[in-house]
Structures are given as C-alpha cells and as structure tokens.
Amino acid sequence: MNKVGEIINVSEITKSCRNLDPNELLGLLKSQLMKFWSWGSNSFTVDNQKNCRMFRMKVQGRHHKGFVYIFVNGLDLFDVYYTTASTNKIKAIEEGLYFDMLVDAIDKYVEYVPIYENN
C-alpha cells in the first residue's frame, strides 16, 4: 500500500499518476542549483521514456542517503517518496507539493541545516 516502512511499489503508485516530463522536472530541480548540488544527486532514472510517470534520483545528503522518487498525482501536485538505497524501504512520504515547494521540501529532508540561514 506504499506506507512508511514498506518497500516501495512503483507500479501501484504509477497507476494513479499523471505523465511527467523528466527534462522539465530536472530543470525545476536545478533551478536552485546550490541546493541540488548539495544533495549529491546522481543515477537519474525514469520508468518509461514515452509516458514517464516516475522520476528517481539517488542522493547522498546530510540527513538522507538513498533514493528520492517523484510522481505527479491526479491533482497535478508532486508526491515524493524517500527510500533506502539497499532495500527501497520507504523512510518518508510527502504528498501534494506544488511545483514551487518541491525543491525546498526535498532539501529539508535531504540536506537542510538551520545554520545555513545565518550565512
């Protein structure tokens, strides 16, 4: 059922998702380049080149090391799943994010430290 503590089932999630453009999504993530770089993002993966419904990247941030899965739900909002790299067990889920919230939400879970605001 894709809850925290379970292994992510991408095929179940994508049944109720909308298509996304991975190039546009990557552009959105890179719009705040310093945050994007701080995550150590790599290994970008999509489920299907033509009708993409899932975007995955591996991160090595301060707080989260593993995968970040991004989907567009039926309301055209982003759902983000954070999983372990070894077992794909879901560590956290954020649902219903608007496009202008996406980078900050990921950053908060993966890398953010409050002292950054003072520098």
- Of 10, 15, 114, nearest to 67 by C-alpha is 10
Distance CA 105, CA 111 (A): 10
pLDDT tens, 49-65? 889 999 999 999 999 99
% of the chain exceeding 90 in pLDDT = 90
- Residue 14's pLDDT is 95
The whole-model pTM stands at 0.94
Instruction: Give residue 47's identity as a one-letter amino acid code.
Output: D
117 pLDDT above the threshold of 80: no
Q: Is the Cβ–Cβ distance between 22 and 46 less than 8 Å?
A: yes
Q: Is the Cβ–Cβ distance between 110 and 61 less than 8 Å?
A: yes
Q: What is the residue-averaged pLDDT of the chain?
A: 94
